[in-house]
């Protein structure tokens, strides 16, 4: 059986806003803020990271919509 390869056209207008490493660094810095505010109380790292990820995603969505 012969398979067809379908190539999707590349979007020339798509430009990533930043590298994955840069985004992870921003998330790490944002997630560190509530940790510091709690007096470096441990046990909330996942919660802090997910909240920071959500905030960064919202910021990127707003930037792309503008």
Residue 31 CB neighbour total at 10 angstroms = 21
Higher pLDDT, 13 or 65: 65
Q: Is 27 inside a domain boundary?
A: yes
Parent domain of 39: 20-65
- With respect to residue 12, please indicate whether it lies within any of the assigned structural domains: no
Measured on CA atoms in the order 31, 62, 10, 3, is the torsion positive or negative?
positive
pTM of the model: 0.66
The pLDDT assigned to 41 comes to: 94
Per-residue pLDDT, 19: 77
Q: Is residue 42 part of a domain?
A: yes
Q: Which residue has the higher pLDDT, 33 or 15?
A: 33
Q: Is there a domain that residue 53 lies in?
A: yes
Domain-located, residue 10? no
Q: What is the pLDDT of residues 16-59, one digit of tens each?
A: 556 778 889 999 999 999 999 999 999 999 999 999 999 999 98
Q: How many folded domains does the chain comprise?
A: 1
Predicted local confidence at residue 7, as pLDDT: 66
């Amino acid at each position: 059986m012969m398979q067809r390869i379908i190539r999707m056209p590349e979007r020339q207008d798509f430009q990533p806003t930043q590298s994955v490493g840069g985004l992870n660094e921003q998330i790490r810095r944002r997630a560190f803020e509530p940790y510091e505010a709690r007096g470096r109380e441990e046990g909330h790292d996942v919660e802090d990271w997910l909240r920071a990820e959500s905030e960064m995603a919202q910021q990127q969505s707003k930037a792309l919509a503008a």
